[in-house]
Amino acid sequence: MLRKEEWDVNHDGRIDIKKIYDAKGILETEVMDYDFDGYFDVVNHYRAGKLYMKELSLEFKGNFNVWKYYEDGG
């Protein structure tokens, strides 16, 4: 069963996108580095495969300062 996927989109040796799945293979967490500086800028949290919370770093340095909550998966 797939538990984790990682991508180095710009081929600099650092992970830019990471997806983590539960024991049933359903997406739980998605982490992204939008500006390829080594700091994750967005974390998407899923419940039963549906988006319920998003953390954003507006400074693009991994310090999350915006949290968005979603009802019914978006």
If you average pLDDT over every residue of the chain, what do you get? 91
Beta carbons of 50 and 24 less than 8 angstroms apart: no
Question: pLDDT value at position 21?
Answer: 96
CA 41 from centroid of its chain's CA atoms: 8
Nearest-5° Cα angle at 27, 68 to 31: 55
Please compute the mean of the pLDDT values over residues 41-60 and round it to a whole number: 92
Distance CA 54, CA 68 (A): 5
Q: pLDDT category, 74, cuts 50, 70, 90?
A: low
